[in-house]
A and B are shown apart, each in its own frame.
Chain A
Amino acid sequence: MTKLLLAASALVFAAPAWAEIHEVEPGEGAQERLQEALILAEPGDEVVLGAGRFVLTDGISLDVDDVTVRGAGMDATVLDFTTQAGAGEGFLITSDDVTLRDFAVENPKGDGIKSKAADNIVFYRLRVTWTEGPKATNGAYGVYPVEGTGVLIDSVVVSGASDAGVYVGQSKDITVRNSIAQYNVAGIEIENSRNAIVENNMTLHNTGGILVFDLPDLPVMGGGDVIVRNNLVTTNNTPNFAPAGNIVAGIPKGTGVMVMANDNVLIENNLIAENDTAQVMVIAYSQTFTDARYDPYPRNVLIGENLYTGGGGDPYLPGAEMLLAAFGGSLPDVLWDGLAKEGTPALFAVEGTRGWSLNLPVQGQGVANAQPGPMVVDTPASLILDQVTGAPAELAARIAG
């Protein structure tokens, strides 16, 4: 931003009636100049971040509807939070109809890019990196929309998150696609959310690749209607580095796709390879709970055709050696805990799916009473979930062309 422009915007806080481009360059005073541009932007405006490294000591935030924040590319424009001294995340968005594109966030102290109750938001060609690799002291979530309706995450790259690289929580109408998540505890996680498509992503070298969870005691529950398709989910064998207490701290390393306590989840046409514990895991919520609104069981999880290679050869489970011996050197692709809601099948799998079950007798009591055996489930009557449409088409149109 030139000095003249800065002077003009400092003097005048009145809104011009036309869309403006607010250019911000890195360098001296970047914290204040960038934050001021984000505050003074009006609906329809674009905040353009120049190439280079913005050294930021505090989180930044956007609370104006219909604003685009655009950098010069996920490797060219870097918001560097390595010396962050305050706030719970790097970049916080609390307004609707926002598009974030073409920049990177590095080493935020808490979460990377968080949107809270921000509807119709697009995350496009963004990178969130904790540059020292997997560490328990890294922030929890990389790209983190929560409580939103209409979320498109496209072509983002996230690594090092001590919880989930891409985490969509308590939201609906979601698409996560064309993205790469590696060296996180969870690669991509859809939690307590409805109507989500996760497609054409690569999740590799995480502790768990793609997670679809529902948890109790939250304002929004009843997660389900999720399609996981055409993803590469491979070698997610990184030791779990999540701080204890977080739900993902319980994920065994070597987990490919994991579904916990959801209904209507379709997993098909994925390449799922070399995940040492389970290529696919379907389980009930593993802890005790008191929330009467909560359903801890998976319901109607559909396992369609997937290409499985390797995997299950080094399970991070109690009694691994005995299990390997019993199953002939490696575990079958699908692990089910054997729990289901009375009268509602937990899962279906297409003919030829190799699976095993822990045959747990009771939810929330751990695996001490497991009676491992072959998985016996029906084949699905249909593999069509018409109700799952993902993010509204308008969001993809915003970044098309």
Chain B
Amino acid sequence: MMSHVGLLGAAALALSAVTLSGVIAAKDAEPLQVSDAAVATQKFPRALSEFGFFSDAAGQVPVPGVVPYQLRTPLYSDGADKLRFVYIPGGASAVAADENEVLSFPVGSALIKTFAFGEGADRRLIETRVLLHRADGWLALPYRWNAEQTDAKLALAGGRLDLTTPAGEAISYRIPNKNQCKECHGVEGAVVPIGPKARNLSHDWLTRQVAHGRLDSVPANAGTMPHWGAGDAAEAEAAARAYLDVNCAHCHRPGATASNSGLDLRWEQGDPMKLGIMKRPVAAGRGSGGLDFDVVPGQPDQSILLHRMKSAEPGVAMPELGRATIDPEGVAAVERWIVELGQ
């Protein structure tokens, strides 16, 4: 039991927080503006609406200054439709400092990603994840949409709900908790964005951001990752390496959650051993599936990496978080690459 003093203190603080937010709401009567206080300072905003990212929440229509973007090769999330937006506070701009890293967004920026299932009138917003760049670093928070689809509430501890994927599979969908956000978004103990790297954004989009003063320059490698879904037009290696980078390398890279595996699946990694080719597992446990190597050229059925992609069983399935179903297109792309490695 929390001490009585602690409880009283908490209650007093609660009161002041409520009063304070009331004042801010009254003062900030402008509806079509992002709340920079919510993005940059308010500890854990309790509802997505407090940020003011959308003029029409259910329709996911952003206010001016909140810019939609798409990734060329996206993370697989059980077939969810993902709506991505970036907010950069007025007058500031992002910097394309290291072309292999995420664009460097100024403090006060936010990355917003809404997960939805269903088409047209049947579309249901499930959750919105926000990454907030604050003076002391990035903060990742998950918000869960209400049944009425009017707003999403902070879900610090995450949650589960039953839904049916576009492929028709009934699943228990997992909304990550705040710590699980960091499991994927963590490098060297700090939260970082993963997605918006120049190579995985379109050249056109980047050019537009420069024109609007939201980005300093378009890096040379802009848009060089293949466009997922382009099918056989993409080289087997490029498609698979892009897929592995986007779906695996946020953990399987130095300094991140799975660094101890020694596997580094980043797009820029060139060492075959680090990519898992003829590499023995270290802590795979039953995830090994009785196989000896992560990737055996020419033998997808002997490759642990593919075995774990083809599993939906906790403790075996990779990635560990973020999917309940198997991604047939991802499996096909990686399988094609492993076959080609043997030729």
Contacts and interface: CB of A to CB of B under 8 A. Distances in A.
A62 interface: yes
A287 B279 CA distance: 11
Given A32-B157, A139-B315, A219 B189 contact: no
A85 B172 contact: yes
A217 B179 contact: no
Contact of B262 (A4, A85, A218): A218
A-B complex: 4 closest residue pairs judged by Cβ atoms: A140-B285, A245-B288, A109-B315, A88-B320
Contact of B285 (A2, A35, A38, A110): A110
B163 interface: no
B285 to A, nearest CB: 3
Contacts of B315: 88, 108-110, 139
Contact of A219 (B6, B156, B254, B286): B254
Given A61-B177, A63-B182, A147-B260, A36 B285 contact: no
A149 interface: no
B90 interface: no
Contacts of A86: 174, 314, 320-321, 324
A136 B290 CA distance: 10
Interface stretch (A18-26, A255-263, A309-317): A18-26
Contacts of B14: 8, 11-12
27 contacts: A9-B10, A12-B13, A12-B14, A16-B6, A22-B2, A23-B1, A32-B159, A58-B177, A88-B314, A92-B183, A94-B179, A94-B186, A109-B313, A110-B314, A116-B260, A141-B283, A146-B283, A162-B286, A167-B283, A215-B280, A217-B282, A219-B254, A219-B260, A243-B284, A243-B289, A245-B281, A247-B282
Given A87-B321, A139-B286, A21 B177 contact: no
How many A residues touch the partner, as a band?
35 or more
B17 A169 contact: no
Q: Which of B6, B160, B174, B314 has the most CB of A within 10 A?
A: B314
Interface in B242-261: 254, 257, 259-260
Given A141-B283, A244-B288, A39 B7 contact: no
A141 B156 CA distance: 28
Interface in A208-247: 215, 217-220, 243-247
B44 interface: yes
B288 A246 contact: yes
A256 to B, nearest CB: 23
B343 interface: no
A287 B292 CA distance: 11
How many B residues touch the partner, as a band?
35 or more
A36 B157 contact: yes
Interface in A116-168: 116-117, 136-141, 144, 146-147, 162-163, 167
B174 A85 contact: yes
B287 to A, nearest CB: 8
Contact of B158 (A11, A35, A63, A94): A35
B271 to A, nearest CB: 10
Contacts of A117: 189
A244 B43 contact: no
Given A14-B17, A117-B189, A94 B182 contact: yes
A35 B156 CA distance: 8
B10 A8 contact: yes
B24 to A, nearest CB: 16
Given A141-B283, A218-B260, A243 B288 contact: yes
B174 A61 contact: no
Interface in A344-381: none
A1 B157 CA distance: 16
Contacts of A178: none
Given A8-B7, A18-B5, A110-B314, A38 B18 contact: no
A199 interface: no
A168 to B, nearest CB: 12
Contacts of B156: 35-36, 39-40
A33 B11 CA distance: 19
Nearest to B259: A219
Contacts of A147: 259-260
